[in-house]
Amino acid sequence: MMLRAMDRTMTCAEFQETLPELFEAHSDFSSNEHLRSCENCAALVRDLEYIAAQARLLLPIHDPSPAVWEHIQKAIRQDREPGASSASVGRK
Ligand SMILES: [Zn+2]
């Protein structure tokens, strides 16, 4: 039987708040439940993995600097901006 605590569906906002931790822990995103059901966040993670890879090329160190996370979090915020379009990706 599934654990109820784990079974609760994460919102995109909740998931994205955990992203820096997941990246720092080198989590396996392919096994993430939210990503399996949410194409928006799956695309976001792909973008962030690309950004992180680029950052690693620029900064050949193991620990991402605060500036890197600032950049990533800025990218997340931009991604979540409603924008000029009226198309809003609502919740289920
Ligand atoms: Zn999501």
**Span from the CA of 60 to the centroid of ligand 1 (angstroms):** 30
| Under 8 Å between Cβ of 66 and 2 | no
For 82, which DSSP code? -
**Span from the CA of 12 to the centroid of ligand 1 (angstroms):** 4
Closest CA to 13 of 48, 36, 41, 52: 41
Of residues 73 and 58, more confidently modeled: 73
User: Percent of the chain having pLDDT more than 70?
Assistant: 70
**Span from the CA of 44 to the centroid of ligand 1 (angstroms):** 9
List, for residues 61-79, the tens digit of each pLDDT value.
556 567 777 888 888 888 7
List, for residues 28-50, the tens digit of each pLDDT value.
888 888 999 999 999 999 988 88
**Span from the CA of 9 to the centroid of ligand 1 (angstroms):** 10
